[in-house]
Amino acid sequence: MKTNLAQAIHSTPEGKEADRILRTCVHCGFCTATCPTYQLLGDELDSPRGRIYLIKELLEGNAYTAKTQLHLDRCLTCRACETTCPSGVEYGRLVDIGRNIVDKHVRRPIAESLKRAALCAIVPTPVLFRPLLKIGQVLRPFLPPTIRRKVPKAGPAAGAWPNPRHSRRMLVLDGCVQPTLASDINPAAARLLDHIGISLIKAAAAGCCGAVTFHLNRQEDALVFMRRNIDAWWPHIEAGAEALVMTASGCGTMVKDYGHALAHDPAYADKAKRISELTKDLSEIVADEKDALEKAMSSSLSSLTSPLSSSSGAKPRVAFHSPCSLQHGQQIRGKVEALLVAAGFELTPVPDSHLCCGSAGTYSILQPELSQRLLRNKVEALESGAPAVVATANIGCLTHIQSGSKLPVRHWIELLADRIAQ
Ligand code: SF4
Ligand code: SF4
């Protein structure tokens, strides 16, 4: 794609990066075939190719309009288009740059601005999020169905976290909402890794990865979260922690990008790059330890019964929803599925498994209509193979899908940890 960026933009690091990305797009339109918003709306401007044109116009100093802002807002940042694109267009990075520019020029309605400010203040802050959720859960029975659906029921209490006893140690990110919404995910990861010779530890001062704030176009605020986490993790890295384990794939995508986000910060660039190199999704860690896992599970693998099994003792049937942040953002495919099969589960088929469930960070709140349409399609696809349980790898997807399904929806590590506990 030929570009002619406005001088004021072209001289910035973001402008240079956007120019490089735009020039890789050859307009072929293959990406439109896998774009969820194009499938729903049928408007070229709600497709990756259309949005790329809009961003090009923005960068050339035109199209500072509410209409451009709307089409960029409607994008889920699911990055399915990146997986499909034969030219390697880094659409996710481009749309972040485009949104940042349009938001600087186009003022949002006051109610919309307040909603975004509230999300930036509450979601990454557990001392605010936790009590507000508790109040919502108490009032849940009295809320109208459309709001009730958005307030998740209280989940099971957190199980035990084993004391660190192994020489192999890895850091885990607790994150912001996950400990409140599904408090046993990280303890389950710690129990499972403990069985295979790895102690999982937390850095007390670490918190939200910054993704929520970053994708709401408060990118400078997000950098503050990133620097705080790096400061919290660094002493553990220097003390020999092997890896930084992500149990939420959305956070993993963000932390793997710290090196890029802080590349122009001389005080943090090198550390951020190292942090990103050490960051692994939990499925990458467990898959690398498959032999140790199979040994730890050998007794339960020989008798494939669990609370999820049918009375005939058949394998428990699981539908796996691979979050966009896992399959497109991190390009990790097939690892969780292989681990579930190795642990004695039967995977049920899931049509259109490349499509987003509609959670997409704060998208379910900011674009509720499109989000609900995607949720209905996703739940129908997940339930079509008659599973007993749905598994996923990201807290946002987990709570969103649970809001639309009567089946239990769990993190895959909880299913594996249950298996080891039998
Ligand atoms: S598939 Fe890639 S190269 Fe083709 S239009 Fe989409 S982004 Fe551009
Ligand atoms: S990120 Fe997802 S919603 Fe956005 S343009 Fe790409 S495929 Fe479409």
- Per-residue confidence (pLDDT) for residue 248, from 0 to 100: 98
**Cα-to-centroid distance, 22 and ligand 1 (Å):** 10
Q: How remote is the CA of residue 81 from the centroid of ligand 2, in Å?
A: 6
Read off the pTM: 0.93
Probe target for ligand 1 pocket from 26, 37, 75, 94, with the most ligand atoms within 8 Å of CB = 26
pLDDT value of residue 422: 61
> Which ligand number lies closest to the CA of residue 78?
2
Question: Per residue in 205-242, pLDDT tens?
Answer: 999 999 999 999 899 999 999 999 999 999 999 999 99
Residue 153 is predicted with a pLDDT of 83
Residue nearest ligand 2's atom 5 by CA: 48
Map the chain to HEC letters: CCCCCCHHHHCCHHHHHHHHHHHHCCCCCHHHHHCHHHHHHCCHHHCHHHHHHHHHHHHCCCCCCHHHHHHHHCCCCCCHHHHHCCCCCCHHHHHHHHHHHHHHHCCCCHHHHHHHHHHHHHCCCHHHHHHHHHHHHHHHHHCCHHHHCCCCCCCCCCCCCCCCCCCCEEEECCCCCHHHHCCCHHHHHHHHHHHCCCEEEECCCCCCCCHHHHHCCCHHHHHHHHHHHHHHHHHHHHCCCCCEEECCHHHHHHHCCHHHHCCCCCCCHHHHHHHHHHEEEHHHHHHHCHHHHHHHHHHHHHCCCCCCCCCCCCCCEEEECCCHHHHHHCCCCCHHHHHHHHCCCEECCCCCCCCCCCCCCCHHHHCHHHHHHHHHHHHHHHHCCCCCEEEECCHHHHHHHHCCCCCCEEEHHHHHHHHHHC
Encode pLDDT of 179-211 as tens digits. 999 999 999 999 999 999 999 999 999 999 999
- Ligand 1: does its nearest atom lie under 6 Å from the Cβ of 94? no
Ligand 1 contacts CB of residue 87 (under 6 A): yes
pLDDT at 189: 97
pLDDT reported for residue 155: 79
Q: What does the pLDDT look like over 252-297, one tens digit per residue?
A: 999 999 999 999 999 999 999 999 999 999 999 999 998 888 887 7
pLDDT score of 10: 81
Ligand 2 contacts (CB < 6 A) are 35-37, 48, 51, 75-81, 91
**Residue 181 Cα to ligand 2 middle (Å):** 27
**pLDDT confidence of residue 299:** 57
Is the CB–ligand 1 distance for residue 21 below 6 Å? no
How many angstroms separate the alpha carbon of residue 306 from the centre of ligand 2? 39
Query: With pLDDT > 90 as the criterion, what percentage of the chain qualifies?
Result: 82
Which atom of ligand 2 lies closest to the CA of 324? Answer: 2
Taking 50 as the pLDDT cut, the residues of the chain under it are 301-310
Ligand 1 mean position to 94 CA, how many Å?
A: 13
The response to whether residue 51 sits with its C-beta less than 6 Å from ligand 1 reads no
28 lines ligand 1 (CB under 6 A): yes
